[in-house]
Chains A and B, each alone.
Chain A
């Protein structure tokens, strides 16, 4: 009898207990650290524990480093939260980069043109509003085209990014200071007009509080409001939405306005609360990294906090080990890549169960 059962069996899980899912994620994180350790040791002969310690050091080692990590996490998180409603609606908004930039440009414009004439609270309120409007506008354009003519939103939002980048370059050239530097420089450096204030002596605390509030609000919006419910229905099936009397067009445009608005607000936080300048790299690819944040968290905005923190931690840690051990960027990128690979890979094991052939069981059955 040629009796070979396949060695491994892959079957879709119907469901999985939440603690099991987290156990798998934890195991994959541990495994990722082990593989990284082997990789580090094998290539550089460095003590992996020291390297990990250095990563920790780089992200949280000093109070200043910790706050920078917090600041960057907040912005990444804010963009991820902005993507959540669009993604829930299965609208692949990859235009966060542009929406952030537009929000940033709007904020910078308010700070530059009105910095002398308005008091800071008014400046902040105004730039907050215009950045939201600018981001929303950048989100609404592809949404209207999608709703009316069913254009592909991925391409559309992606291309809107390039328009935003060029527009930013144009504005940077216009606002150049000092002339010839090809940069805007720190806006209102002396007066700090329009800058988000320090709270309790912590410069970035207000950013963190602001973003956490947005995170909680978005969670609540998606889960408990009628509009949030409509977003889920449209995302699942437009036919069902029409059947239920939901105006699909309106929901698409409204949701993308919201998504763009929150991304625009991220631009406001990045400019008024963090860099105090504007350049084409103000978004710095975070509009794309945030896609990973949103997806890995399955659009749960609270889980996004963890993911955003992890990604920023990896980035800061990688920079640190690169400088501390004289490794180049590639080594730290490799470490980052390995960890992400394992974490994303763990989702496979959460979705599918893998079983190995059981010899004993089979024999028993034959003996019977």
Chain B
């Protein structure tokens, strides 16, 4: 055991009930390096890191920190060893300030010396290039600020070894760049960093080495310099995956949704969507780009009948093209929309909180939208049962049975259940929000393929996404939202990433011409 390793984890095994989450996993982290921990959903990355940070205790195996075998029985032990973890879900108290959150759980007297903390926080920030206001309340912070604070918190407690669990999942491209710059500063200062991710381009960009897990087992590690996306994907998935998204020319696109002057204000009266006018065509995929909270959610929910709108707003649904009859969707709710025979599929951002019922079985979730259809007061279970079996079979959902509550499935499988149900209704309009967020490569490509199939079948598909590369490869047109306003509609085949990124953050002059498709 040489001292060059900050951490070595040997033969780590951990099971939850009958599920083997980690099986004799090996991991080494050298001092002063950034290591990517790469793997698909459910490959055991987070479990492994939770054992390093004292949240879980391994069933078997040894952990060495700086060459010494250690026992990490609690997060407190981990801190003593200089290990700090930033979780995907932030652990901050909303009503307290940044400095107070840092002070929480620290040993010391009853009095919090805010000034001293503030000073030390500023020291850390200056050293690595963070921007944190110690007196700002958490509820006033953006996601990126909260994440920064979490990192500062671990550094404040003297962490030499940092674990970041999918830190970029919630960040915009610009914020990701900032984070990476800070990570490089920390590395140059001698910190050792593990970053959990399943985004290959990030692995290649930020890390020195990469360790790959697959289905709870250690597959191997390699220097990033020698790796490429192809090789890493193969290691991660275990077989060759095509990394191309196919984009066919839309066949006979007919205008199906006419969104006119759509304006949405939230409960506080803040304008979330400002006078959006937009057409959606059957047989095409319309991408919606924008930094988070720019009205994407409100746009989809307004069409779905879930969002109160301001007067003057209109969404016309034309099942048979621009000359055919139209149905006004504004002022309706999901029930009345369904009763009119409009098959509007919606894959919301919040899968378990809106699209599915977490504690219900697959069968129970399959009937969420159709349970009303049968006659009489009793629910019909045969069809949902068949549907659940069909979705499991066709989308290769990994589940113990169709009678398992969906909350017990991994993120990717949850999404497959949701998308599978929505597609099974034979939609004419399919809206999806962040359909691949948190999903691994394999599942993501399955979703892209499904969306393309729907497009081919003449469905009007709306795809709200955050990965600009994917938007540019998948979508026929891209609507760029900026602060609740429609900034531009670009042709997906000619637009560039820089162009979209720029339009996401810089409102064009409103008097200028609106780029049509």
- Given A239-B350, A243-B306, A243-B355, A11:B369 Cβ within 8 A: no
Q: By the criterion CB–CB under 8 Å, are A245 and B338 in contact?
A: yes
- Given A229-B371, A229-B379, A243:B335 Cβ within 8 A: no
Q: By the criterion CB–CB under 8 Å, are B335 and A246 in contact?
A: yes
Asked if A190 is an interface residue, CB under 8 A from chain B, the answer is: no
Question: Among B27-35, B357-365, B388-396, which stretch is in contact with chain A?
Answer: B357-365
Q: Residue-by-residue, is A206-233 near B (CB-CB < 8 Å gives 1, otherwise 0)?
A: 0000000000000000001111110011
- Given A11-B16, A236-B358, A242:B334 Cβ within 8 A: yes
Q: By the criterion CB–CB under 8 Å, are B379 and A224 in contact?
A: yes
Which residues of A sit under 8 angstroms from B353, Cβ to Cβ? 237, 239-240
Please, which residue of chain B has its CB at the minimum distance from the CB of A239? Answer: B354
- Given A6-B73, A236-B359, A245-B369, A14:B377 Cβ within 8 A: no
Asked if A361 is an interface residue, CB under 8 A from chain B, the answer is: yes
Q: By the criterion CB–CB under 8 Å, are A240 and B355 in contact?
A: yes
Q: By the criterion CB–CB under 8 Å, are B377 and A226 in contact?
A: yes
Please, which residue of chain A has its CB at the minimum distance from the CB of B56? Answer: A11
Cβ of A292 to closest chain B Cβ, rounded Å: 22
Q: Residue-by-residue, is B328-372 near A (CB-CB < 8 Å gives 1, otherwise 0)?
A: 000001111110000000101010011111111000100111011
Q: By the criterion CB–CB under 8 Å, are A225 and B334 in contact?
A: no
Asked if A125 is an interface residue, CB under 8 A from chain B, the answer is: no
Number of interface residues of B (CB under 8 A): 41
Cα-based distance from A6 to B306 in the complex (angstroms) = 50
Asked if A5 is an interface residue, CB under 8 A from chain B, the answer is: yes
Cβ of A90 to closest chain B Cβ, rounded Å: 11
Asked if B310 is an interface residue, CB under 8 A from chain A, the answer is: no
Q: By the criterion CB–CB under 8 Å, are B378 and A236 in contact?
A: no
Cα-based distance from A242 to B358 in the complex (angstroms) = 15
B346, B353, B356, B357, most chain A CB atoms within 10 A: B357
Q: By the criterion CB–CB under 8 Å, are A240 and B379 in contact?
A: no
Asked if B140 is an interface residue, CB under 8 A from chain A, the answer is: no
Q: By the criterion CB–CB under 8 Å, are B354 and A247 in contact?
A: no
Which residues of B sit under 8 angstroms from A244, Cβ to Cβ? 334, 368-369
Within 8 A of B (CB), among A1-29: 1-6, 9, 11, 13-15
Asked if A200 is an interface residue, CB under 8 A from chain B, the answer is: no
Please, which residue of chain A has its CB at the minimum distance from the CB of B60? Answer: A365
- Given A224-B379, A229-B379, A233-B357, A240:B368 Cβ within 8 A: yes
Asked if B123 is an interface residue, CB under 8 A from chain A, the answer is: no
Asked if B69 is an interface residue, CB under 8 A from chain A, the answer is: yes
Which residues of A sit under 8 angstroms from B378, Cβ to Cβ? 224-226
Q: By the criterion CB–CB under 8 Å, are B16 and A14 in contact?
A: yes
Which residues of B sit under 8 angstroms from A239, Cβ to Cβ? 350, 353-354
Which residues of A sit under 8 angstroms from B445, Cβ to Cβ? none
- Given A14-B408, A243-B348, A3:B358 Cβ within 8 A: no
A3, A229, A233, A240, most chain B CB atoms within 10 A: A240
Q: Residue-by-residue, is A234-259 near B (CB-CB < 8 Å gives 1, otherwise 0)?
A: 00110110111111000000000000
- Given A1-B69, A225-B379, A240:B335 Cβ within 8 A: no
Among A2, A13, A233, A236, point to the contact of B71 (Cβ < 8 A): A2
Asked if B57 is an interface residue, CB under 8 A from chain A, the answer is: yes
Cα-based distance from A83 to B479 in the complex (angstroms) = 50
Cβ of A4 to closest chain B Cβ, rounded Å: 6
Number of A-B contacts (CB under 8 A): 89
- Given A3-B69, A245-B333, A245-B335, A240:B357 Cβ within 8 A: yes
Within 8 A of B (CB), among A91-138: none
- Given A6-B73, A227-B377, A245-B333, A240:B408 Cβ within 8 A: no
- Given A14-B16, A239-B350, A5:B71 Cβ within 8 A: yes
Which residues of B sit under 8 angstroms from A246, Cβ to Cβ? 335
Asked if B512 is an interface residue, CB under 8 A from chain A, the answer is: no
Among A3, A224, A243, point to the contact of B346 (Cβ < 8 A): A243
Which residues of A sit under 8 angstroms from B57, Cβ to Cβ? 5-6, 9
Asked if B325 is an interface residue, CB under 8 A from chain A, the answer is: no
Q: Residue-by-residue, is B1-39 near A (CB-CB < 8 Å gives 1, otherwise 0)?
A: 000000000010000111100000000000000000000
Cα-based distance from A15 to B18 in the complex (angstroms) = 10
Which residues of A sit under 8 angstroms from B60, Cβ to Cβ? 361, 365
Within 8 A of A (CB), among B50-67: 57, 60-62
Among A5, A236, A247, point to the contact of B360 (Cβ < 8 A): A236
Cβ of A216 to closest chain B Cβ, rounded Å: 15
Cα-based distance from A243 to B335 in the complex (angstroms) = 9
Q: Residue-by-residue, is B277-316 near A (CB-CB < 8 Å gives 1, otherwise 0)?
A: 0000000000000000000000000001010000000000
Please, which residue of chain B has its CB at the minimum distance from the CB of A225? Answer: B377
Q: By the criterion CB–CB under 8 Å, are A237 and B354 in contact?
A: yes
Please, which residue of chain B has its CB at the minimum distance from the CB of A15? Answer: B17
Which residues of B sit under 8 angstroms from A229, Cβ to Cβ? 364, 367, 371, 379
Q: By the criterion CB–CB under 8 Å, are A240 and B354 in contact?
A: yes
Cβ of B72 to closest chain A Cβ, rounded Å: 10
Which residues of A sit under 8 angstroms from B11, Cβ to Cβ? 365
Within 8 A of B (CB), among A336-368: 361, 365
13 A–B contacts, CB within 8 A, in A order: A13-B17, A14-B16, A225-B378, A229-B367, A237-B358, A239-B350, A239-B353, A239-B354, A240-B355, A240-B357, A245-B335, A247-B333, A365-B61
Where the two chains meet, the residues of B that have a C-beta atom closer than 8 Å to any C-beta of A are: 11, 16-19, 57, 60-62, 69, 71, 73, 304, 306, 333-338, 346, 348, 350, 353-360, 364, 367-369, 371-372, 377-379, 408
Q: Which 4 A-B pairs have the closest CB atoms?
A: A245-B335, A245-B334, A14-B17, A239-B354
Q: Give 10 new A-B contacts, CB below 8 A, not counting A236-B359, A365-B61.
A: A5-B73, A229-B367, A232-B357, A233-B357, A236-B358, A239-B354, A240-B356, A243-B355, A245-B337, A245-B372
